[in-house]
Structure 1
Amino acid sequence: MRVPDAPTGRLSDAWRACVGTGRVELALRRDYQDSLALLQREIGFRYIRGHGLLSDGMGVYRPYDWQGERRVQHSFTYVDQVVDAYLALGIRPFLELGFMPTELASGERTVFWWRGNVTPPRSHQEWADLVRSTMAHLIDRYGLDEVRTWPVEVWNEPNLADFWEGADEAAYHRLYEVTAGAVKEVDASLQVGGPAISPGADEWLERFAEFAERRGVPVDFVSKHAYTSGPAQHVPFGVHQTLAPASALLDQFAAARARLKGSKLAELPLHITEFNSSYRPDNPVHDTAFHAAYLAPVLAYGGDHADSFSYWTFSDMFEEAGVPTALFHGGFGLLTHRQVKKPTYHLYAFMARMGPDLLSRADDHLVTRHPDGRVTVLAWAPVDPTGEPSGPERHRLRLSVPIASGAAFVRRSSADEEHGNARTAWQRMGSPRSPRPHQLDVLHEAAEPARHHLRLPVEEGRVDLDLTLARHEVTLVELSPVEEEAPPWADEGRLLGREAPG
């Protein structure tokens, strides 16, 4: 395939706009911060979103009795530590307001191992006071101009009874109206939105738009989630699920604007605030090379349909189903505990090394150019469109790439079943639930991608690139113009002191 000489557009960076996290309280832990620091060095997300900002573990809502009178204090000790840690690592919070503090809740229904309360407030006035106090504190500490850049999302997946008691739509609309009003009372320029629905509930979007218009409720962005897995087939401490083709994720991204067409929300920013293949934090597919190849076209094309799409989640430090029972347990994370990189981590790290100018895009590759003339190729072996974890043993891709020099230095980095895949090594060493230090060293080594270097000739301003990809491989090829600086007397034939030929 001949890659065009001139850019066909700009590569969207919607894929790195946001990333998900386990409940935000986890940011107080060292392993979490170490993992996020690595992520930011090698990928560099702009925002991070997680549950539990107002849950009991963060200690924000603090009622007490004083001389027979009930009073409430709002404490931001942990909120400050979390946000400080985020900003120090170059990432901003995408605020999700939830779950309900126990002392403010109207009921006892909870979700997850860490018991996030999912009932409406017993007093909407006290909830509004909590929201106002939280936003005012953040502005006081971090500055109005800064906090205006932080999206504020109201709740999480209210269409599911597990996350919002009874999946009561009218009750969610009331919560949204009260919350959005409280946010705007603090500053009218703060960004507030929702409804953060799960897949299969897009009809909520239409009714949300009708409600917002009818009531004159502020909405600055629309949010929803996307997953492609079928019902869970349970095994001890894990599940298996069927998968729809990855293109179904793109269809879900696109469906939101189609649903909202003609409404006042149609042109608002669209944020996919969670996406992945499986919605379960214990599905082994998340740890595989198949998963990286499966999601590659989503990263390549997702920006056509959404302003951001947030991978759920950056780390396996995630306790919704309890503390993980093994290092590799099917967690959502790009990283395991102890910062062992998964193949999907490499997909993101490879994307972070792509250039801004888009030259070519297809169902198995993406080609970009940097301002300094470097050309980067992300290629992947397409997986079976049914989502089955099988595919051809080899996938061949031939590209004619433009580059302005007499020769090109080629650097190739790859992740597949054998390379950049610590899970394979982990299984071969017996799948230790708690690897010992020397085993962790082996896993970190096995997690690094395969790397190769070569030099190719440039003819008529082009390099012929012939790539053979292994099963489930994702590879990054970086081509740099060669500027030869070797001195004229350099002679590899004389390394051992032989005389130059006469």
Structure 2
Amino acid sequence: MRITVAEQPVGRLNDAWRLAVGTGRFDLALRRDYQDSLALVQREIGFRHIRGHGLLSDGVGVHRPYEYQGRRHVRHAFGYVDQVIDAYLELGIRPFVELGFMPSGLASADQTVFWWQGNVTPPRSHNEWADLVRATVAHLVDRYGIDEVRGWPIEVWNEPDLKDFWQDADADAYHRLYEVSAHAVKDVDAGLQVGGPALSPGADDTWLPRFAEFVTDRKVPIDFVSRHAYTSGPAQHVPFGVHQDLAPAQRLLEQFASPRRLLAGTALAELPVYITEFNSSYRPDNPIHDTAFHAAYLAPVLAAGGDVVDSFAYWTFSDVFEEVGVPTALFHGGFGLLTHRQIRKPTFHLYAFMNRLGGQILARGADHLVTRDDTGRIAVLAWAPVDVTGREPVDNHTVRLSLPIADGTARSAFLLRSSVSDEAGNAWRAWCELGRPPSPTARQLDVLRQAAEPARRHASLPVAAGRVELDLHLTRHEVTLAEVSAVTDETPPWWDERRLLGREPS
């Protein structure tokens, strides 16, 4: 069935999908490959904020206790913080600040998480923690200016509902930490944004209402609510990796919407909701992240997520990431849109396609999103349905559209189509065909970069009665961007293609 797309917009495409993106721990941003990767992402996609763990962990060196004249003192040092944030701002991206994890010199116990051992215990002294938060936020304001830092959300901790991330998953202890932290932030400036509780997708439905009740009863500042979303099941471990089943992508949208459902009728009901992490698998070693399936799986989420939430941050922009250790191969199932050495994955291209969409929504459906920009260019994002069981993948799927052309004088339109699929724009598939080299040679890297390019084609389409008929035939796990623009024919009157090889016209 052909879908007739209306001439008038049915809505605006918001930028919730690009408001933030995730990253590996804070101090990884000091590395050249990290900054090269982020520069590429910003050039082709353009996120507004970046969020990661470990700002206050020992590797960044902010909290520095010492003894002097028989007394304990603390020095706050921001050399690494400055280098990282300076680099972020130069690349056109701003911090989404996460307050965590606990510096060892302030920790109440030695429980840690990740290969790099972020401490996840409450502070020995809440007063000293408050001093640390105030000093850090005040430094950011002094260095970057209050108007700038007021635009940086500040989130308190990460997934305190999980024992791995917060000792005993103690809600009361987290509420105390949030209260101290929020007041410390507001001590610096009342206009700064602070929020939480950054709950995991597995948090029970009582966590968020109890948090809302606590901050309301005690009049604790809160400017936004945050949680995370993933759709993978239990990990099936293999050496240096995992496999997991996946719920349908609709489950992500349901998780995005859950904070508003749980907070309905509370004092927090109207606050912005930020999904500060989302992906399919919660593991950084699941090969599904590297595949074309993954791009097609997430396409409907990117197309519709902004309808239910204010921001949803893909976890993460790059495979420069070491939560379970240093990766053992170029493609290792990392979260990133890019591998090490800046090989684009199919999901990178999904985001790059989103960046090419216009602001006016003309039509949307289960397999497509049609937009128009201020120049009249129409951009269609379309995707093949996926089967999360893997038993019945869709090999052929067609989206048929009748598109309005704003220029009433145009006789033709130019089509530029870019696609990724199992067979195109899929560097992971090429890597497999090369024998899965853990550390590709320079030539192999060149091959992978070429294989990562989307398939591109172009055509001239006739305009009849102000419309173009467009049939998008999609192969397995294909995501495509079709851009259609009216053509102004400026061919000179003497041009005759029959003379291209010197023949005289008959």
Cα gap change, 1:401/1:387 in structure 2, threshold over 3 Å: closer, same or farther?
A: farther
User: Residue in 2 aligned with 1:57?
Assistant: 59
SS of 1:234's equivalent?
Answer: strand
User: Residue in 1 aligned with 2:465?
Assistant: 460
Query: Match of 2:342, as an amino acid?
Result: Q
> Displacement, 1:295?
0.3
Residue 257 in structure 1 maps to residue 237 in structure 2: no
SS of 2:37's equivalent?
Answer: helix
2:25 to 23, 28, 40: 23
> Please, what is the CA RMSD of the aligned residues?
0.8
User: Residue in 1 aligned with 2:236?
Assistant: 233
CA distance in 2, matches of 1:85, 1:406: 48
1:224, 1:271 within 8 Å by CA — same for their partners in 2? yes
Deviation by residue 1:148-179 (Cα, 9 ceiling, x = unmatched): 00000000000000000000000000000000
Which structure 1 residue ranges, 4+ long, deviate > 4 Å from structure 2?
none
> Displacement, 1:390?
4.7
CA distance in 2, matches of 1:391, 1:429: 24
Deviation by residue 1:34-80 (Cα, 9 ceiling, x = unmatched): 00000000000000000000000000001111122111100000000
> Displacement, 1:383?
0.8
CA distance in 2, matches of 1:435, 1:279: 27
1:167 to 159, 166, 169: 169
> Displacement, 1:203?
2.1
SS of 1:102's equivalent?
Answer: coil
User: Residue in 1 aligned with 2:185?
Assistant: 183
Residue 486 in structure 1 maps to residue 459 in structure 2: no
> Displacement, 1:299?
0.3
> Displacement, 1:459?
0.5
Cα gap change, 1:172/1:159 in structure 2, threshold over 3 Å: closer, same or farther?
A: same
CA distance in 2, matches of 1:239, 1:12: 35
CA distance in 1, matches of 2:6, 2:340: 42
CA distance in 2, matches of 1:418, 1:299: 22
Residue 498 in structure 1 maps to residue 503 in structure 2: yes
SS of 1:476's equivalent?
Answer: strand
1:245, 1:387 within 8 Å by CA — same for their partners in 2? no
2:134 to 113, 132, 138: 132
User: Residue in 2 aligned with 1:341?
Assistant: 344
SS of 2:379's equivalent?
Answer: strand
SS of 1:171's equivalent?
Answer: helix
2:8 to 6, 9, 15: 6
Residue 420 in structure 1 maps to residue 422 in structure 2: no
CA distance in 2, matches of 1:317, 1:100: 22
SS of 1:401's equivalent?
Answer: strand
2:288 to 277, 280, 285: 285
SS of 2:105's equivalent?
Answer: helix
Query: Match of 2:331, as an amino acid?
Result: F
SS of 2:190's equivalent?
Answer: coil
CA distance in 2, matches of 1:108, 1:13: 41
Deviation by residue 1:405-461 (Cα, 9 ceiling, x = unmatched): 221000000000111100111011100000011100000000000000100000111
Deviation by residue 1:313-371 (Cα, 9 ceiling, x = unmatched): 00000000000000000000000000000000000000000000000110100000010
User: Residue in 2 aligned with 1:450?
Assistant: 455
CA distance in 2, matches of 1:388, 1:84: 45
Query: Match of 2:154, as an amino acid?
Result: V
CA distance in 2, matches of 1:390, 1:249: 22
Query: Match of 1:300, as an amino acid?
Result: A
Aligned residues between the structures = 500
User: Residue in 1 aligned with 2:402?
Assistant: 400
Residue 473 in structure 1 maps to residue 478 in structure 2: yes
User: Residue in 2 aligned with 1:370?
Assistant: 373
1:383, 1:389 within 8 Å by CA — same for their partners in 2? no
Q: Which runs of 5+ in 1 are unaligned?
A: none
SS of 1:159's equivalent?
Answer: coil
SS of 1:330's equivalent?
Answer: coil
Cα gap change, 1:389/1:420 in structure 2, threshold over 3 Å: closer, same or farther?
A: farther
User: Residue in 2 aligned with 1:111?
Assistant: 113
CA distance in 1, matches of 2:504, 2:316: 61
> Displacement, 1:391?
1.6
CA distance in 1, matches of 2:334, 2:206: 30
1:15, 1:308 within 8 Å by CA — same for their partners in 2? yes
Equivalence map 1:76-225=2 (5 Å): 76-201=78-203, 202-225=205-228
Deviation by residue 1:257-288 (Cα, 9 ceiling, x = unmatched): 00000001000000000000000000010000
Query: Match of 2:486, as an amino acid?
Result: P
SS of 1:217's equivalent?
Answer: coil
> Displacement, 1:200?
2.3
Equivalence map 1:315-394=2 (5 Å): 315-384=318-387, 386=388, 388=390, 390-394=392-396
CA distance in 2, matches of 1:128, 1:43: 37
Q: Give the TM-score normalised by the residue count of structure 2.
A: 0.98
> Displacement, 1:387?
5.1
CA distance in 2, matches of 1:387, 1:216: 47
> Displacement, 1:496?
1.2
User: Residue in 2 aligned with 1:440?
Assistant: 445
1:158, 1:172 within 8 Å by CA — same for their partners in 2? yes
1:290, 1:389 within 8 Å by CA — same for their partners in 2? no
Cα gap change, 1:78/1:446 in structure 2, threshold over 3 Å: closer, same or farther?
A: same
1:268 to 263, 271, 289: 271
Q: Give the TM-score normalised by the residue count of structure 1.
A: 0.99
1:197, 1:223 within 8 Å by CA — same for their partners in 2? yes
Deviation by residue 1:110-137 (Cα, 9 ceiling, x = unmatched): 0000000000000000000000000000
1:243, 1:388 within 8 Å by CA — same for their partners in 2? no
CA distance in 2, matches of 1:317, 1:87: 19
Deviation by residue 1:197-233 (Cα, 9 ceiling, x = unmatched): 0012142111110001111111100000000000000
CA distance in 1, matches of 2:453, 2:391: 22
1:246, 1:387 within 8 Å by CA — same for their partners in 2? no
Query: Match of 1:247, as an amino acid?
Result: Q
> Displacement, 1:389?
7.2
1:408, 1:480 within 8 Å by CA — same for their partners in 2? yes
CA distance in 2, matches of 1:417, 1:491: 41
CA distance in 1, matches of 2:447, 2:455: 15
